[in-house]
Every structure is written in C-alpha cells, then in structure tokens.
A and B are shown apart, each in its own frame.
Chain A
Amino acid sequence: MRTSIREIRTRGSKRKCGVSIAWATRALLLVTGESMLRWKKVKFGVVVFPGSNCDHDAQYSVSANLGEQAAMLWHRDTSIPADVDAVILPGGFSYGDYLRCGAIAKFSPIISAVKGFAARGGLVVGICNGFQILTECGLLPGALVRNQGLKFLCKPVQLRVETTNTPFTNACHKGQIVTFPIAHGEGCYTASAEVLAGLEAEDRVVFRYVANPNGSNNAIAGICNRERNVLGMMPHPERATDPLMGSTDGLTLFRSMVAAFASK
C-alpha cells in the first residue's frame, strides 16, 4: 500500500494518467475520510546550505506546526532522497551571500538535484534567500536586488493571494489577504518589462504586497514557474505558522501543498 501511494504520486505528475488516478484518489478519500489523508505524511526536504539560517524554522513549521515530516538535505548531496515529496530552499545567507545573493549557491551539488526534481514535477518552494537562489539558478525569472530604501527590513507585511491556480495556494481564495513577516535586505524583485508582462499574463504572480515595502516591480512578493510547481517568495510563510508568533497564515501555503499531494 505504501508503495502504491508513492507510485500514484510519481505517476500523478505525468499528465497522461494523472487525471483518472487523481479522481480515484479523491474517491478513495471521500470513502475513507481525512484519516486516510494522514495515513502517509508528506515529507518536506529542507536544504541546508552553509549560512542557511531559516532551515530550522522551516523544519519546525512543517513538522511541529503543520504535522508533516521534514528531512534536512545537505548542500553537498547530489540527489534528493526518493521519499522526499517537496523541497524547501530556506532563508539565510547561503555561502555568506558573497558576490551576490544566491550566486554561489547555484553551483552547489544539491541545486543540480533540485533542478532535476523540479523538472520531474516535484514541488519546490524558495523562501527569501531560497527565492534569490531560484532566480540565480534559472528556475525562476528576474532577480532580487537591494531594497529600495537600501536597508534591511524586518516586519509583518500583508500580501494578496493573486492566484489559487498553484499547488501552493489552492487552499486560499483569490484576493485573500495574508500576513507574513519579511526579513531581507535584497528583496526588491526586478525583471524586464517583457518578463513582467509574461508573469502577469500567465497568472504567475502568486503573491503581491498590499503596500510595497522594498520597491519590487509590480509589487511582486512571490512568483511561480510556467509549470507552476516552483514557487519563490521573499516573505516568510514558515514564520507565520504558530498562533504564538501572531499569524498562522503561513499554514495555508503548506496545507495547500499537502492538499496538492492528496489530490494527485
């Protein structure tokens, strides 16, 4: 049974038989209910680069707060373990962010593995420094440059969910306002007019700042790739997964991912 669910997941990413199997799973869930969904937990792989400093937070939020599983992936690893369902590139200062944020991380062995994982349809979330790495390594377009105010900024910000047509926001409703903290010095999203137009036209702007804190083009806080399985965002959903911290809006994002697996 364990393997069969795995197979469904793997095959679910192939379009051909994905639809019917997804329906079969849904039907199964309707019969067996929520407990069936919990039978196998989703495993998040959290990449640890030298200098990552939100890796523990990501791990804690998806395990303690979300109730799923987390595994740490070392930057020198050359593959993503087979039982990892989704990858998180956490915040921090990978390799000291020397040269340029994320510029060195893109050459790390794990990033080649993450690219392969993404190409196979695996879900990848890059948060803060993770977003910077995703743009550096070409999984997402554009770049993150110094905040307009030239200062590091740490505060809660409101975001508007611009699309629910992603595995990261399927549990939200369009236009929903969520509050996540930001904590970055280089979070100003910048891209050519062409890229921006493309992102907008293809419904790939996932989160937009209600009040733009850093001068990002089109007030963009998070975008996804064309295949919609790779998300990069500057704000920190993992810091908003515990009522004690003031917001649990971040859980919606991770729950969406769990739901995406359930519906596959």
Chain B
Amino acid sequence: MSTITPEILTAHNVTADEYSKILSILGREPNLTELGIFSVMWSEHCSYKSSRVHLKKLPTRSKYVLLGPGENAGIIDIGDGIGIAFKIESHNHPSFIEPFQGAATGVGGILRDIFTMGARPIAVMDSLRFGPLDDPETGARNRRILEGVVSGIAHYGNCFGVPTVGGECVFDKSYSGNPLVNVFALGVIDKNKIFKGQAHGVGNPVIYVGAKTGRDGIHGATMASDEFTEESKQKRPNVQMGDPFLEKLLLEACLEAMETGAVVGIQDMGAAGLTCSTCEMGSRAGTGIEIDLARVPQRETGMTPYEIMLSESQERMLLVADKGREKEIFDVFEKWGLDAAEIGTVTGDGVLRVRNHGEIVAEIPNRELADEAPLYNRPFTKPARKAPMEAPAYQAGDAKEELIRLLSSGDLCSKRWIYEQYDHTVRTNTTLGPGSDAAIVRIKGTETAVAMSLDGNGRYCALDPREGAKLVVAECCRNLSTVGAEPVAATNNLNFGNPQKPEIMAQLVEAIEGMADACVFFETPITGGNVSLYNETLGEGIYPSPVMGIVGLLKNTRPVPMRFQSADRDVLVVGGLRESSLERFGGTQYANVIAGQLWGLPPELDMDYEKRVQRAIREIVSAGLVESSHDAGEGGLAVALAEASFDGVGARIQLPAAERPEVQLFHEAPSRIVVSTAQAAAVTAIAAKYNVEVAAIGKTQVGRLLIDTKIDATIEELREPWSASLERMLHA
C-alpha cells in the first residue's frame, strides 16, 4: 500500500523525478523516515544540486592547500608544522525567521566544522547584509533583525571564547525580506593530526557525543532550500536553539579525545543532523553504518525515528572510535560532563541501517544517499539586471556635504556599535581587530601571523555578476596586501536567489566563472565554502551576493595602521589616481547614496595591474616604509582619505583638474592604496620595480582634511557623523 502521497512529496520538497530516483535506488517504496532522510540529504543546502556543475570550475589547489573542498573545512599549510582550517557558512534563512538564534547557531555550526577537523578555532568574522535601517516601510523590522543577529553572534562567540575579529555589514533594499548572515571561522591545527569525517574500520563503534537530541530544527536544511512566503514565520520551530557553553565543552572534550589517539573519524551534526553525519562518514570511507535510535540521548519523550534522524539539535558530534578503546573516549567526555553513547557500529555493507529498539526503520545505501543526489544543470539565460546602462541626470552638489553623507551612510559608517559587542581580543592573538582593512591574528609559537578579509559587493554583482565577483576577489586580496599579507587561499559563500529562474541561474554561473578566473589569477584557490540559494521573498530576489573570505600570511610584527600617524608626511596613492568614465561610476556608493540609483557597469578592473599593485604594496609595507596604509575601495578616494584621518591627523591634498570632480573624489577604482610616508622616494622606487604608478597628492597635517578647494573640514566634522551614524539609525 502506498503511504507516500504527492502531498507528502511536496511537503518534503521532493520532485517527481527525484522520487523515481529514490525508488530505483531502494528498489521499493521508501517509508516516511526514509523519504525524510532523502529529502534533507538531497536538499539544495546539503547536496548543492543546482550549483555543483559550476562549482567544479573553481580552482582548489596550490602549494599551500593541504585539504580542499569536500571535508568539513579546508586546510592550508602555513609552515612550522601548522595548518590553518577555515570556512564560511551561511545562516540566512534561520536569521530572518528568528534573528538571535538563527545567527547564534550559524556561529555554532561553523565553529563545529572547524574543530571537527581537530583545529582550535581562533577567529571568527561575519558578513551581514540587511535591509536599510531607515526605510519607511521595512526599517523597523530591519533594525530588529540587525539587533537580533548581532546579539546572537555576540552571545555565541563571546561565551565560546573565540574572538570576532572583523567582517562587514552593509545594507540594501534587496535584503529587506531576506537578510544574509555569513559566518567565517578559522582555526589552528597540527598538520599531522587532521581528523576527517570518515567511518573506517568495520566493527568500530559509532559514538554520539554532546547535546541530547530534541525536536528543534527538524527540516532546517529543507527550509533553507526554499523561498520565503507569508507562511515562513510559522517555520520558527525549524530554527535550532544554540548553547555556546555546551559547544565550548564539546570543543575541549573533542580536542582532548582526539589527543588519545582512539578517534578514527569524527563529524559534526549540523544540517540534517544524524542523517548527514552517518551517511557522509560511511560514504567517504566506503563503509556502512548501523545505528539504533533507542540509544540516542534524547531531550524529549516520544520522538519518532523520523524526528530523531532529522533533528538539527545543536552541539552534537558523531565519532567513530577504535574498537576496544571506547573507554578512553568515554572518560574524556565524562570529565567534561557531556553525554557520550555508543549508538551503533561501522559495517562492511555500505548501507545506512537505522533501527529503533532493534526494529529496522530505514535502510539506504550510503553512497547513493550522500553522493548521488540529483545533479541539475539548470538552464540559464542572461543575468537579471534592472539598472539602466545610461547614467541618469543627477546634480553633483557640495563635495564636503556629499562626503559627510557618504561617511554617515549605512555601508560606510563606523560599525563600532556592532563590533564592541563582540569579544575581539580573547585568546590574545588579535594584532589587528575590527574596523581595519583586514584582521590579523598571530599564531603563537611561530613567527607567522594570519590576515583575513571578508568581502562582498551586491551592487557590483547586480550590474555585472562576472566582473563583480572578480572585483570582490581583488578587493579581498587588496585588503590583505594593504596590511602586508600575501593572499594564499579562499573560501566562498554564494548567496543568490531562486536557481530555477534562468536569469538568476545566470547570475550564479557568471559569478562563479568570474570568481574562478580571479582566484586562479590571484593564486587563491577555494578550499571550501557554502552555497545559499532561494534567497527570495515573495518572488523578489536579493542582489547576487557572492562573499569571499580570503586568508593571507605575513610575518608576525606590529601591523601597519590604516590611519595617518604624524604630520608633514607625504600622502601617496600607490597605484595612481585611475580615472574613470561615468558609465563605470554607476555601481559606486556615490551612485547608490547621492545619485540614488545604480547604472552602467562596476568599476573597471585590470587584474594584471591589480596584482602588480598588490605585490608592490606588500613589499612597501613589509619593508616598514610607510606609517599608514589604507585601501581606497568603497566610497572612493575622498572617503579613504577621511577614514585615514580619524585619529586626528588629516591632510592637505591637491588633485589634478578633473572634468567631473565627484568622479575623481568618489569613484571606486580598484588597485589604489593610500599611504603616508617619510620615505616617498623609497616607496616610489619599489612601485617602479613593478611598473606601478604612484601619485603624490599632498601632505599630512593635524586637525583638518583639505582636498583642493572642494573639501575643507575639521576631522571632527567628518568623524562624528561617521562614528555616530549607525546608532542614530538604530535608535531613530
């Protein structure tokens, strides 16, 4: 008798084609538990079924890469026997439905991905995108979501004891119904002690550790693979609840258990919980796993096999131990006061066999379940695009007033209100914290420091996803180079709308291809990442928003500041002034904030020149030739000069005559870094070696920023609105 009706299939987001594939794999009809298991494993979130074809285009190898995509996190080799594990993951959908818990468990999930490998997390960054805080219609909700997300991140990261060292927070209408919360985490690992999620050794015990299983988060992965509708709010029970204290204990216990040498493989129970961890560990090792749900520690009574298998309760891990050495592992978990229970064994038949009190409730071949999810080469056309190519008629106003408006705009204003709520100094490694071009943490016991930058740009990608993605990679690498670090590897979070729409699919494809080109060119292979699709509400998609997290290496010294330090220093733009056409001005903050609309194309990027500029600035900074170094990116040159002045030392700047002064002041041409130096000749000499232009534009001076006759402001006139703006918008 058929129990699986079309309604049940729809409720599980399983298509008719996918169902027939399930039938052929099983050779029979699935029961409800099995259907549930298939539906989460084959959800977009877990299987990347719409993006996998294209993700293969991304570079994944280099001399630094120890472990590429496919495991819980990628790992690079930084020398001294030390590896760095890092990855980014999104928690967009849960954060919209329940901002605090959604963001908190986003942090928890990515931290587990890191320490599952055997790495101790030492840094977190967040990329946040919300609707405008001052929007008359959605502002109140956007403010509530932002406050919830920020306190959720703070709650989890602070208690866990990992510093939140940087990130980005930007605003646009397209995120009003669908905020983006991407969390990046990074950890250190002994490169000879990397743990993998593999269930080797037939007969080895399968051990469940950590929090008890409850009914929370059931079908979270499926929810994250769907568009938002009015009913989405009713999915609140699908959002998991986080307990950072438990996670901290889990971290310490897991690392200690790994030290015993009795752990064969380990994987966290994240999306799709017990289902995903069992079948993936089995599939990777070519083994089967048999578990009995009756032995799973449970928080609630009367849970069905379906609920236990699909629960996304947080702070849980699955590990496979060396048979006979279970006690060593149980002792460690007992010491930390955590549940650990043997729930099954590794088998040789390649089947995920789930029993409940002995009775078989699900029986599915591991490999087919984990690796043979449907693969879609979805049709794509030209990327969706609303903006005109022609610049609209806008009137450039008073430059000083426009600069102040830009500095107090959501994207460019100080994010101090946010990052002061995050512990960014715990673990005493943060040598450069939030509010800088890049964050830097030193690696104790070595001469090496790791720099990291997290960046996205929805506006550029909305105008041209391919060029936009390249610009994002370039910007991220430039941020690292600005502080003297050499970019070596990357992780990406691809946030897009509904891939079943060909013009959205086109955005995804073009962005991936652009990103692939740039990552090859800048030698930053992607070691892992995350894809978040269906970021739409009521049919309205977000800006295509690929976010890059790039990691760089540098010598562990006191980092160069981004702000001017003393008066009478030469102010130079390494990379030159880089003129622009009006068409290329249409994706800038000026277009967005002052002209009030986007047009044309994103700024022009010459990747070859960009790479030479980055090499030059790295050499200049490493040689200690500059007192300050700051990327002239978003907002353009005038904004960069203002930002460099906020410690009280400004500058007197002379720029060449320009036809359109606002383009000269506010264009976001890449490949430019503002430095101040007492050794201008030496800086210029290094730049010349790379055939890179240097524009000498003025001298630093205390207390004021002057740019030609267009801008004359005290530092305080510029700093105050920049500094206080976010709080004003939040408490409007």
Nearest to B427 among chain A residues (CB) is A57
Q: Which of A14-22, A150-158, A217-225, A253-261 contacts its partner?
A: A150-158
Residue from A50, A151, A238 within 8 A of B249 (CB atoms): A50
Residue from A53, A154, A246 within 8 A of B160 (CB atoms): A53
Cα of A54 to Cα of B158 in the assembled complex, Å: 11
6 contacts between A and B (CB under 8 A): A53-B248, A57-B426, A93-B159, A151-B420, A155-B420, A246-B431
A95 within 8 A of B: yes
Assess the A238–B420 pair: CB atoms within 8 A. no
Nearest to B253 among chain A residues (CB) is A50
Cα of A57 to Cα of B426 in the assembled complex, Å: 8
Residue from A51, A53, A95, A153 within 8 A of B420 (CB atoms): A153
Assess the B558–A95 pair: CB atoms within 8 A. no
Cα of A95 to Cα of B245 in the assembled complex, Å: 7
List the A side residues contacting B151 at CB < 8 Å: 151
Q: B418-464: which residues lie under 8 A (CB-CB) from chain A? A: 419-428, 430-431, 442, 444
List the B side residues contacting A50 at CB < 8 Å: 245, 248-249, 336-337
Nearest to A60 among chain B residues (CB) is B428
Assess the B337–A54 pair: CB atoms within 8 A. no
Nearest to B120 among chain A residues (CB) is A56
Cα of A96 to Cα of B336 in the assembled complex, Å: 13
List the B side residues contacting A154 at CB < 8 Å: 158, 419-425
Assess the A60–B444 pair: CB atoms within 8 A. yes
Cα of A155 to Cα of B158 in the assembled complex, Å: 13
Assess the A51–B245 pair: CB atoms within 8 A. yes
Total residues of chain A contacting the partner, CB 8 A: 33
Residue from A64, A92, A181 within 8 A of B425 (CB atoms): A181
Q: A33-52: which residues lie under 8 A (CB-CB) from chain B? A: 50-51
Nearest to B245 among chain A residues (CB) is A96
Nearest to A245 among chain B residues (CB) is B428
Q: How far is the CB of B430 from chain A (nearest CB, A)?
A: 7
Q: A216-264: which residues lie under 8 A (CB-CB) from chain B? A: 236, 238-239, 241-246
1/0 per residue, CB under 8 A from A, across B527-566: the answer is 0000000000000000000000000000011100000000
B721 within 8 A of A: no
B161 within 8 A of A: yes
Assess the B420–A244 pair: CB atoms within 8 A. no
Interface residues of A (CB under 8 A from B): 50-51, 53-54, 56-57, 60-61, 64, 91-93, 95-98, 151-155, 181, 183, 185, 236, 238-239, 241-246
Interface of A is mostly: mixed
Nearest to A243 among chain B residues (CB) is B558
List the B side residues contacting A97 at CB < 8 Å: 159, 245
List the A side residues contacting B244 at CB < 8 Å: 93, 96
Q: How far is the CB of A50 from chain B (nearest CB, A)?
A: 6
Known contacts A95-B245, A96-B245; is A151 also within 8 Å of B426 by CB?
Answer: no
B370 within 8 A of A: no
Known contacts A50-B336, A50-B337, A51-B159; is A93 also within 8 Å of B423 by CB?
Answer: no
Known contacts A50-B336, A54-B161, A154-B421; is A93 also within 8 Å of B426 by CB?
Answer: no
Cα of A11 to Cα of B426 in the assembled complex, Å: 37
List the B side residues contacting A95 at CB < 8 Å: 245
Cα of A60 to Cα of B424 in the assembled complex, Å: 17
Top 9 A-B pairs ranked by shortest CB distance?
A53-B161, A96-B245, A183-B423, A93-B159, A57-B428, A181-B425, A154-B423, A152-B421, A244-B431
Assess the B425–A245 pair: CB atoms within 8 A. yes
Cα of A10 to Cα of B615 in the assembled complex, Å: 60
Known contacts A96-B159, A245-B430; is A183 also within 8 Å of B421 by CB?
Answer: no
Q: How far is the CB of A92 from chain B (nearest CB, A)?
A: 6
Assess the A239–B425 pair: CB atoms within 8 A. yes
B726 within 8 A of A: no
List the A side residues contacting B158 at CB < 8 Å: 93, 152, 154, 183, 185
B362 within 8 A of A: no
Nearest to A241 among chain B residues (CB) is B428
Assess the B337–A96 pair: CB atoms within 8 A. no
1/0 per residue, CB under 8 A from A, across B232-262: the answer is 0000000000011110110000000000000
B154 within 8 A of A: yes
Cα of A239 to Cα of B160 in the assembled complex, Å: 17
Assess the A54–B442 pair: CB atoms within 8 A. no
Q: Name 5 extra pairs, CB < 8 A, besides A61-B428, A152-B421, A243-B558.
A: A92-B161, A96-B246, A154-B420, A154-B421, A244-B557
Cα of A181 to Cα of B161 in the assembled complex, Å: 15
Residue from A98, A155, A244 within 8 A of B245 (CB atoms): A98
Q: How far is the CB of B525 from chain A (nearest CB, A)?
A: 29
Give the residue among B154, B244, B425, B428 with the most A Cβ atoms within 10 A: B428
Assess the A239–B428 pair: CB atoms within 8 A. yes
List the B side residues contacting A56 at CB < 8 Å: 427
Cα of A229 to Cα of B194 in the assembled complex, Å: 45
Residue from B336, B428, B442, B558 within 8 A of A238 (CB atoms): B428
